[in-house]
Structure 1
Amino acid sequence: MKRICVIGGSRYFGKLLVERLQAAGHQVTVINRGSIRPPAGVEHLVVDRDDEAALTAALGSLTFDVVVDQVCYTPVQAAIAARAFAGRTGRYVMTSTIEVYDPATAALPAVPAGTPVPEENVDPRAWLVTMDLPWHDEAYLDAHYAEGKRQAEAVLTRNGSFAFASVRSAHVLGGGAQEFTGRLAHYTERVGRGEEIAVHSEALPTVFIHYEEMADLLLWAATATDFTGPVNACSDGLLDVRELTAAVAAQTGREAVHRTVAAGGTASPFSFDRHYAMSNARAKELGFAFSRITDWLPGAVAETVAASAVPAV
């Protein structure tokens, strides 16, 4: 049994992670701002993780085997966590994102189209950290989400107070109404209503992961392995936007209608004009077994269709 702290853990795969940690017999503490309570039997610390003094006070004398940080978006948050948990944990796992590889958001090493991007393409040990940017401004953070994650990884990698690992998540689907981003619902609702879906003329494929598989991988990263550094998390197989809409059409019984956007135009979620699909080879080498996207995509679409206001025919 391990003593594990989850920062966030109040919705989607973070909530599922907490449930699975508890079911596996671990002693779990959840830190959040109190809007959603964790399951019975889970210790709950209500505190704003951005308030360093309040966070340190709330932690008191608590120590943990592992911290899993679901909601670290900036180097400022990472630095606060590094100080607050120094001497309190031996391992720190941060949930990161495929967006760190997006060539539209940073000058990154070129990867041949069709070649899955490995972890070393973004090395947090060498990444420039700029703490004095307006990271507390929500509009700035939304526009610089990928860079905030890159710099947060860099701060925690260099911290030295604990072993650090980051899990770079692919686009997460599944769970029907639980999928709070609404990106899959965008497709089920538009296909169901016969509305146009904006796509790039040569939309490139990307990678996905089911929310339950993402919870499983975080459970594995926290309890069953001691790797450090970044690891990519994605199901096997690539999927482009037209294949995704085809899967939705199969569930709704309606044909997908596409509208091609001009170069540089705004397209629907998961339509990409640039390549940065990840490789999951490192996680496999470390012992994690991934599903194939085709194993779970039809079910994920069906769940979203069922939660939609647009009935299938």
Structure 2
Amino acid sequence: MDILIIGGTRYFGKRLIGRLLEAGHHVTVINRGSSPAPEGTLSLVADRNDEKALEKAVGDRTFDVVVDQVCYTPRQAEIARRVFAGRTRRYVTTSTVEVYEYEDSAAPVAEDALDLAAVTVDTDLPWDDPEFLESHYGEGKRQAEAVFAAGADFAWSSVRVAHVLGGADDFTGRVAHYARRIRAGEPIAVPVVNRPATYVYVEEIAAFLAWAAEGEFTGPVNAHSHGPLTTADICAEIEEMTGGRTIFQEVEVGEVSPFSFSRSYAMTNSRAENLGYRFSHSSEWLRKALSETLAAEVES
């Protein structure tokens, strides 16, 4: 298949591209040119926010599938819907568990917990403001999904990705945050009621996205490993690997540490598994994922 990747040449995007190439697909990557496209791909350069530039870069090329790794706003979704009309038969967006930020269910949430038809799309919001975009990450993704769901000239699916762990190239600094505090015996701020969340190993989400690109299903699908994790689960593994001591400090108001949540953040992956994908259990990879990231921290 001819597959176009928009953005996403780092972290699990890099791994996705590698898997698609290994499977024999022809892969084209389009980004702003700030990072080189992986070897074996065709590179196109354009700012996906500039509709004319994006259309010019794509030209008369057509693709079996487009995997959009960097669609964060409804404006970007509307541009993509116009530019790729007639240029692809299938469009897969990488979304996030954050689209469920208004849900707080004791039971893991399914895809239909979010009614995309009821989402208000507002392209006039300051989506170009980095601070606004960062603080409205889930809302931007939710509205972007709603734009595609309202109708497009191609089959559309979104992969709602859980919190990702693993890899020496984890650039978030979240695991390092815990490791530093555990080694030093410094307090780790958590909410008074600290809920579990669903996670996925970096290699597994890359594999799932490759599977989704090759699939035919449409609509949103949750992607995560079995076995929700708590802050305590993650810290216990880090403590065993690094030494030190985990000290939780419960806070009612104020900023808490990453991977700590005052509301439930668990999804169900039943739809993906009913479609034929089989996820691992977090216990199978948690130690490996954390050790990869911590080893890279030590080396740096």
TM normalised by structure 2 equals: 0.97
For 1:271, give the aligned amino acid.
Answer: S
Counterpart of 1:277?
A: 266
Q: Does 1:95 align with 2:94?
A: yes
Counterpart of 2:34?
A: 35
How much has 1:250 moved relative to structure 2? 1.1
Correspondence for 2:197 among 194, 198, 206? 206
Q: Does 1:248 align with 2:207?
A: no
Q: Return closer, same or farther for 1:298/1:89 CA change in 2, 3 Å cut-off.
A: same
Correspondence for 2:290 among 278, 286, 301? 301
The alignment yields a C-alpha RMSD, in angstroms, of 1.4
3-state SS, counterpart of residue 226 of structure 1: coil
Counterpart of 1:265?
A: 254
Matched ranges for 1:69-108 at <5 A:
69-103=68-102, 108=103
| In 2: Cα distance, 1:101 partner to 1:58 partner | 34
How much has 1:123 moved relative to structure 2? 2.2
How much has 1:126 moved relative to structure 2? 2.9
Runs of 5+ consecutive residues of structure 1 not aligned to the other structure: none
Runs of 5+ consecutive residues of structure 2 not aligned to the other structure: none
How much has 1:35 moved relative to structure 2? 1.5
Counterpart of 2:207?
A: 216
3-state SS, counterpart of residue 150 of structure 2: helix
- Percent identity between the aligned chains? 54
| In 2: Cα distance, 1:160 partner to 1:52 partner | 16
How much has 1:258 moved relative to structure 2? 1.6
| In 2: Cα distance, 1:19 partner to 1:246 partner | 33
How much has 1:307 moved relative to structure 2? 1.9
| In 2: Cα distance, 1:77 partner to 1:92 partner | 14
Q: Does 1:145 align with 2:137?
A: yes
Correspondence for 1:127 among 119, 124, 141? 119
Whether the 8 Å contact between 1:30 and 1:42 is mirrored in structure 2 is: yes
Q: Return closer, same or farther for 1:86/1:4 CA change in 2, 3 Å cut-off.
A: same
How much has 1:310 moved relative to structure 2? 9.4
| In 2: Cα distance, 1:40 partner to 1:208 partner | 30
Counterpart of 1:136?
A: 128
Of 33-42 and 167-176, deviating more is: 33-42
Counterpart of 2:219?
A: 229
Whether the 8 Å contact between 1:240 and 1:270 is mirrored in structure 2 is: yes
Number of residues paired by the alignment? 300
How much has 1:309 moved relative to structure 2? 3.9
3-state SS, counterpart of residue 303 of structure 1: helix
For 1:120, give the aligned amino acid.
Answer: D
For 2:232, give the aligned amino acid.
Answer: R
Deviation string 1:172-197 (CA, Å, 9 cap, x unpaired) is 01002x11111122112221232221
Runs of 4+ in 1 over 6 A off after TM superposition: none
For 1:146, give the aligned amino acid.
Answer: G
Q: Does 1:14 align with 2:13?
A: yes
3-state SS, counterpart of residue 142 of structure 1: helix
Counterpart of 1:169?
A: 161
Of 131-140 and 32-41, deviating more is: 32-41
How much has 1:204 moved relative to structure 2? 0.5
TM normalised by structure 1 equals: 0.93
Whether the 8 Å contact between 2:14 and 2:38 is mirrored in structure 1 is: no
| In 1: Cα distance, 2:28 partner to 2:181 partner | 40
Of 302-311 and 157-166, deviating more is: 302-311
Whether the 8 Å contact between 2:9 and 2:38 is mirrored in structure 1 is: no
Deviation string 1:196-221 (CA, Å, 9 cap, x unpaired) is 21112221100100110000000000
| In 1: Cα distance, 2:114 partner to 2:265 partner | 12
Deviation string 1:210-237 (CA, Å, 9 cap, x unpaired) is 11000000000001x2111100001000
Counterpart of 1:60?
A: 59
3-state SS, counterpart of residue 71 of structure 1: coil
Whether the 8 Å contact between 1:188 and 1:308 is mirrored in structure 2 is: no
For 2:246, give the aligned amino acid.
Answer: A
| In 2: Cα distance, 1:217 partner to 1:245 partner | 27
For 2:113, give the aligned amino acid.
Answer: N
Whether the 8 Å contact between 1:251 and 1:305 is mirrored in structure 2 is: no
For 1:41, give the aligned amino acid.
Answer: G
Deviation string 1:14-64 (CA, Å, 9 cap, x unpaired) is 011111111110000001111211222200001100000000001110000
